[in-house]
Amino acid sequence: MNKESIRIGELFEKYSSNPEIIGEITKPKKKLFIKAESGRIIEIIGLIKKVKSKILKFTFSNGAEKKCADKHLFKTENADFQFAEDFKIGDRIRTIYGFIAIVKIEDFGFDYVYDICMKEEFVYVTPDGIVNHNSMAAIQCMGAAQRKYNGNIIVSMLDSEEATTTIRMSNLGVKNPKIRPYNDITIEKVFKFLEGMCLYKEMKGIVDTPSIVLWDSVANTLSQREREAEDINSVIGYKGRLLSLLIPKYVSKLSIYNICLIAINQLRDSIQIGPYAPAKELKFMSQGKTMPGGNSFKFNAFHLLEMKAKETATRDKFGFDGYFAEVTCVKNKLFAPNIKISIAGNFVTGFDNTYTNFRFLTDNKRMVTGAWNYLADYPTKKFRTRDLGSLYESDLDFKEAFDLAVKETLQTEVIEKYNPVI
């Protein structure tokens, strides 16, 4: 089939595990489309080639079959997203028609796979009704830092998953200047990169220039030895031992050279054997969960942030497609830990401060909500939830009252409550 005549919704389903049929596309010559979960038809603006991944084939209870990479995300029964490699026979996934169970899982070895880059939404539906997700996290930190320092900052992206592009990072704010992610990395290469950045800053006399290195993700980055190993059992635990040596070695060095390392990791189930559950390694981390890579990240982190998607945000209600995530500082060296807050994530533009503040004010009874919402201290201006963004940008009086309410609530409900004068 000619790649330019693929029907709506068939592109990813038919060719994700056979990239040689399509060839590497960054910008299709003709428009391609796929159906989003919302029901809208969304344009595919390109394909992203990922690293060589394990290919799994799932057979479902309704007779549907799907080939995908082990890191492909399916929507689960509880509306969260989960990697394909973590599913077991009998688990149920979500479709637009209901739930279907996995009846068979086959391993098809390793191959190169593609991810689609959608123009707007990031949750899509294949012809069998299965709900899938594309790979927004700390990239916005780099964009915010670029704006704060007017470009006088060094930012780098180490992307082991090869799931991020220059265009996507630019959409999330990293455009002063735009940067190209570094791919094909190993644990050793990550720390060689950090060493090289330290030497570069010293050679150029810019040690005081702030710098950010984003590593995505720890769980998906193998060591060189693990890459080359033929016997998996020979390298069990090696990654944790390697990180326990390298991280303490570089923690103080990065501080001296004014480099912030943001490492994205994943939570995985902690295997517990016996009648009594052992104590959690970190007090405020989710029960029964642990992080891949050993204990080094748990105990050497300056900040440790745990994020969980809790609620879907729809265009009809909030004016954007996304979600609300519950964020907890498991470890916080600058303030009291374990303060939960809900932040709004927009699938297109990243985390949204206006709707995050709206939820913060609502939770603390400073915003009266209903069919029409209004500030408790400014009841004359009423608005629908989905119109908040445009109102905030266009009405200066409302913006001033909104910002003041946020500032006062932060002071009384967070700063004074959790940071008493001693």
Q: Is residue 312 part of a domain?
A: no
pLDDT tens digit sequence for 288-346 = 777 777 788 888 888 888 888 888 888 889 988 888 988 888 888 888 888 888 999 88
Residues 248, 267 within the same domain:
yes
Residue 24 sits at φ, ψ, to 5 deg, of: -80, 115
Choosing from 133, 165, 200, the residue where a domain stops is 133
Q: Is residue 192 part of a domain?
A: yes
Q: Chain centroid to CA 127: how far?
A: 26
Q: Is residue 63 part of a domain?
A: yes
The whole-number average pLDDT for the span 359-377 is: 94
Residues 214, 68 within the same domain:
no
The whole-number average pLDDT for the span 164-177 is: 78
Q: Report the pLDDT value the prediction gives residue 143, as an integer from 0 to 100.
A: 80
Q: Chain centroid to CA 134: how far?
A: 10
The whole-number average pLDDT for the span 239-264 is: 90
The pTM of the full predicted model, rounded to 2 decimals, is 0.60
Residues 143, 286 within the same domain:
yes
Residues 265, 382 within the same domain:
no
User: Which two tokens mark 347?
Assistant: 């699938």
Residues 101, 225 within the same domain:
no
Q: Is residue 310 part of a domain?
A: no
Residues 361, 295 within the same domain:
no
Q: Report the pLDDT value the prediction gives residue 24, as an integer from 0 to 100.
A: 47
Residues 74, 29 within the same domain:
yes
User: Which two tokens mark 411?
Assistant: 């002071």
pLDDT tens digit sequence for 207-244 = 999 999 988 888 888 888 888 888 888 888 888 889 98
Residues 124, 159 within the same domain:
no
pLDDT tens digit sequence for 25-52 = 455 556 777 777 767 777 776 665 555 6
Residues 113, 144 within the same domain:
no
Q: Give me the amino acid identity at 420.
A: P
Residues 98, 146 within the same domain:
no
Choosing from 105, 133, 161, the residue where a domain stops is 133
Q: Is residue 37 part of a domain?
A: yes
When divided into structural domains, the chain yields a total of 3
| Of 313, 300, 205, residue with least CA distance to 254 | 300
Residues 282, 152 within the same domain:
yes
Q: Report the pLDDT value the prediction gives residue 120, as an integer from 0 to 100.
A: 57
Q: Is residue 330 part of a domain?
A: no
Range of the domain at 173: 139-301
Residue 292: CB atoms within 10 A of its CB come to 17
Task: Kindly give, in sequence order, each residue whose CB lies less than 8 Å from that of residue 132, ignoring residues fewer than 6 positions away.
Answer: 12, 72, 73, 74, 75, 123, 124, 125, 126
Residues 152, 293 within the same domain:
yes
Choosing from 301, 316, 336, the residue where a domain stops is 301
Q: Strand 211-216 vs strand 154-159: parallel, antiparallel, or unpaired? A: parallel
What's the Rg (C-alpha) of the chain? 23
Contact status, residue 44 vs residue 121, Cβ threshold 8 Å: no
Q: Is residue 209 part of a domain?
A: yes
CATH number of the CATH domain containing 83: 2.170.16.10
Q: Is residue 346 part of a domain?
A: no
Q: Which of 5-19, 130-144, 367-381 has the lowest mean pLDDT?
A: 5-19
Apex 299 CA angle, 295 and 300, nearest 5 = 110
